Structure 1
Amino acid sequence: MSSPTTTIDPQLARWERFRAGRNAALATEHGWLTLTSFQWLEAQPSKVELVPGLWSTDGTTAFLTASAADGLTLVETGQVVEGTITATLQDEESLMWVQFGGDDGKQVVAELAMRADKYAVRTRDNSSPVLTGFEGVPTYAYSPAWVIEGRFEPYAEPMDVPIGTANPLVDGVHRSVGEVVFRAPGVPHEIRLHAEEEKLGALNVTFHDETNGDTTDEWRKVFIPRPRPDGSVVIDFNRAINYPSAFTPYGTCPMPVRGNSVDVRVEAGEKLPQG
């Protein structure tokens, strides 16, 4: 007698591989789960929390003054920081600048960032309990009902839309390249969401829905594969993920464009992180 065979849903199997990859990417050293501070630099050389040295900016350039006893080394070269070093960034750029601590001198990385045309330093500590206690992001169970066919309606030219971010002192801009149009379960009308373009023509949609602040974070995002030649797209909300700001108060993640909302509970994708 032959034993019964178990049929595995290929969509479910692909989603499970996606989830394993997502959790592994989050748990990397000096990744989003290791953020422990965000501080603006001042004109006067000053100490900042959790990092040795004196930090400052003249508005164009960032300065760090330290002695060898501070134990700081450059991330890129491993060279000891002794004296004053400088760096210059454009808005929205970041630089993993210096490191210190731990047995290898690399436990904490100080990231220099330019946000809202101002310099800030953000610490990434591999001993952060958010990372050391991470066991994966909670999610809704996979739901085929939330794999939705829709269409992409591109704009003639990209449109820059002002938005807020997870940091109230930092404004953002959403470069909308068009709208994703679809019908969601339980919603009688078509939904239109602004989309940004990603690599190779894929789309990124940042959205609100009725689960926000209950079982999910205040907003999430979903990546959509490149539209087909006829403009049709597949939106798999099972792959909706949190921005880093769901895991840490030190993110500057973009909010959705005003009105980018699904007017129902999207019970698919990532939930609020545990803890």
Structure 2
Amino acid sequence: MTIQHTDTGTDRTDFVRQWEEWHAQHEQNLADPHGFLAVTSLRWLDGEPTRFPDAPGAWSSTDDGVTVQLDEGEELTVQGAVVRGQYHFGVIAERASLLATAGDAAIEVAKRGGHDILRPRHPDNKLLLDYTHTPAYAPDHRWALTGRYLPFDAPRSVTVGAAVEGLQHVYDAPGQVDFALDGRTYRLTAFNGKQPGSLLVLFTDATSGVTTYAANRSVSIPPPDDQGTVVIDFNRATNLPCAFTDLATCPLPPAENKLPVAIEAGEKIPYERTGGR
């Protein structure tokens, strides 16, 4: 079920060029001044108003949502408006995030695993300043596979673990995708992707913990065609934020998405986890 490519120099060159353009954009997004590499702490909020050294105000969380009490001289900008004194963010939906700004910092207010969290992001964070690039396997046609999308009759709730011990995430899975590799068929549970109709697969494989990050990787899949055919391009498998920082709450793959084969494609273990460059 591998994609049929005409094995010409032109096709190979175009394939590599498209991958390089995609990966350059991915790297640019990763190095965003307010991206995950800029996160300086992960705070779990509760009913006691608490101040933190990397964010203005005293923060608390109740059943009514997240509230910050700003002292005189402190302010945040929320959705373009400057706020002072007490500000109530309201109830935040699971997996949603709101970004307020304070000077050149962004203050993320979010809910993960049923808990309200605060995650300040500072563009002068050392992890971001030191970042160069993420190593990856060279793009190879062999890892761009065709498969089938197998929708469920109705979305199924799937509970998975998280990079943070004791935390769980619940996702709606619209279906599964299967593909063949070296004469064997594999089937993976898929979640909804960022774009309408697209899919997202979390997985590990035999390279995990060896050349790729141990806990997880993800691959985005464009919407299936009218026959349910999908393209699973493992060359575009990427690390989740937890591959770079312990201040992330990334989901782990469901058990059925732990592949017994080595997917030697996509991003490798970040240098930040190996101490190298």
Q: TM-score range by the shorter chain?
A: 0.7 to 0.9
Contact 1:59 1:118 in 2 (8 A): no
1:190-209 aligned at under 5 Å gives the runs 190-198=185-193, 199-209=195-205
1:180 to 169, 177, 182: 177
Change (3 A) 1:75 1:211: same
**SS of match in other structure, 1:235:** strand
2:30 is aligned, of 20, 26, 38, to 26
Which SS does the other structure have where 1:36 is aligned?
coil
Moved over 3 A (4+): none
1:189 Cα offset (Å): 2.7
CA distance, structure 2, for counterparts of residue 226 and residue 62 of structure 1: 36
Contact 1:151 1:180 in 2 (8 A): yes
Measured on the aligned residues, the alpha-carbon RMSD in Å equals 1.8
Secondary structure at 2:28 match in 1? helix
SS of structure 1 residue aligned to 2:42: strand
Letter of the structure 2 residue corresponding to residue 232 of structure 1: T
Q: What does 1:1-275 align with in structure 2 at a 5 Å threshold?
A: 7=10, 9-69=13-73, 71-77=74-80, 79=82, 81=84, 83-88=85-90, 89-99=92-102, 105-106=103-104, 108-185=105-182, 188-198=183-193, 199-217=195-213, 218-275=215-272
Alpha carbons of 1:98 and 1:200: their partners in 2 closer, same or farther (altered >3 Å)? closer
Work out whether residues 174 and 257 of structure 1, in 8 Å CA contact, stay in contact via their aligned partners in 2: no
List alignment gaps of at least 5 residues for structure 1: 1-5, 100-104
Shifted more, 265-274 versus 47-56: the winner is: 47-56
What TM-score do you get using the length of structure 2 for normalisation?
0.87
TM-superposed deviation, 1:268: 0.4
Q: Distance in 2 between matches of 1:191 and 1:235?
A: 12
Whether contact under 8 Å (2:112, 2:169) holds in the other structure is no
Structure 2 gaps, min length 5:
1-8, 273-277
| Structure 2 match to 1:102 | none
After superposition, the Cα gap between the structure-2 partners of 1:68 and 1:77, relative to the gap in structure 1 and judged at 3 Å, is: farther
Distance between the aligned counterparts of 1:90 and 1:270, measured in 2? Answer: 30
Looking at structure 2, the residues matched to 172 and 135 of structure 1 have their Cα atoms a distance apart, in angstroms, of 31
Measured in 1, the distance between the counterparts of 2:270 and 2:60 equals 35
Give, as a single letter, the amino acid of the residue that structure 1 aligns with 2:86. Answer: T
In 2 relative to 1, CA 72–214 (structure 1 residues): closer, same or farther, beyond 3 Å? Answer: farther
The count of corresponding residues between Structure 1 and Structure 2 is: 260
Distance in 1 separating the partners of 2:196 and 2:79? 29
TM-score, length basis structure 1 = 0.88
Q: Structure 1: how far apart are the matches of 2:113 and 2:199?
A: 25
